[in-house]
Amino acid sequence: MISLRPPLDGIRVLELGSSVAGPAAGRLLADLGADVLKVESDEGDGLRTWGPPAADGTSWWFKSHNRNKRFVKFDLHDEADRATVREIALRCDVVLENFRPGRLDAWGLGYESLRAENPRIVYASISGYGQDGPYRDRVGFGNIAESMSGLRYITGYPDRPPVRIGISLADELAALYCVVGIQAALLARERDGVGDYVDISLLESSFALTQGMLPEYDALGIVRERSGNMHNAVAPSNIYPTRDGKYIAIGANANSLFRRFAAAMGRPELAEDPRFRGNRERTEHGVEIDATIAEWTRTLDVAEIARILAEAHVPSGPVYSVAEIVADAQVQARGVVRHVEDDAGNRVATTAPVPRFRAHPTVLDHAARSVGADTAEVLQELGIAGERDMKIGGRS
């Protein structure tokens, strides 16, 4: 078989991002083979201090979150450094940033300024609310976007306040949409010969995930409310307690699935009960059907329920902690958990790149490196080394 290169091999990306959303997009591009050059100032990206640290003081999250990139050190508040970063940007296919709108324009690093010299450049901006509109200049964080988009409004139980989702979901969603936009712009560039500007909003990325909420409200005036673990449109679809003190998720909402599920529970008559005969009826009587299912699940351990339902071809799965998912047979068989090293020799656990390809490899080379570790190498490679005094740091 012919040895193929990673899908984005040959694409150079300048990442002017920090924290979660911008660097997450950079990570995804690097996983696909792009050469991602991450710019940091002396103190480094703030995410380096988020969460438990390794011996070198850098958080484990940062080491995984910024894998596969090269690290260059420049202070964007310094005019000479900005000039060098501009030279790097003009030699890149993609510029990725998540500053507040207008900040990079003021520094001569905005899209219009770069496009004037390199019409093929693809420029992607992630911000809280987008590049225009009345909220353009507001600081935007993921937790705000999740709240304003409706995601948190519908998350939790009806008799309790909204709750956070547990991860930086809005940031990761924005990163995914950003990478989709960048790839589409790169593909269009091959056809049309010019790049484009990709404008990503945390708020819009989160709102785009809300499925039926908008059309239901627009057509019927329905405001979806918190419903705990019950699904508002299908049943049964919930998590249920087990004898060994764990929980299992079960989804048996199609009529054929529910018939198999009822038989697996030893209660085939439930499928003929007028309250449970179709999905609408089951949804209307969701509390009753969930109580019946929980009555059964409480009599068995989680592994036994999962075995019974797998044999009956009914979707189910344990509610895992991170320790349990790492030990799972499917996760181990697929090699989902990988390890990479940083330049200090730390062994860092990380997830395998997504998506997987049959023919083209993805990249999993190294964890995040120290601030400026690749500065000299990158400048020399791009023919910029002679234009700057090498006091800026990095390897020499």
Q: Residue 239: CB partners within 8 Å, gap ≥ 6?
A: 229, 247, 248, 249, 250, 319
Distance, in Å, from the CA atom of 125 to the CA atom of 182, rounded to the nearest integer, reads: 10
Amino acid at 154: I
Q: Rounding to the nearest 10 degrees, give the CA dihedral for residues 89, 90, 92, 98.
A: 30
171 classed as catalytic: yes
Instruction: Report the run of H or E that residue 72 belongs to, with start and end.
Output: strand 70-73
Q: Go through the chain and tell me how many residues it has.
A: 396
For residue 351, what are the β-bridge partners?
337
Two tokens, residue 112: 């219009």
Closest-CA residue to 44 (of 370, 392, 379) = 370
The answer to whether 274 touches 281, Cβ cutoff 8 Å, is yes
Burial state string for 186-222 with b = 16 or more CB within 10 A and e = fewer than 16: beebeeeeebbbbbbbbbbbbbeebeebeebeeeeee
Distance, in Å, from the CA atom of 317 to the CA atom of 118, rounded to the nearest integer, reads: 51
For residue 12, what are the β-bridge partners?
35
Given 35, 93, 171, 199, which residue is catalytic? Answer: 171
Q: Annotated active-site positions, please?
A: 171
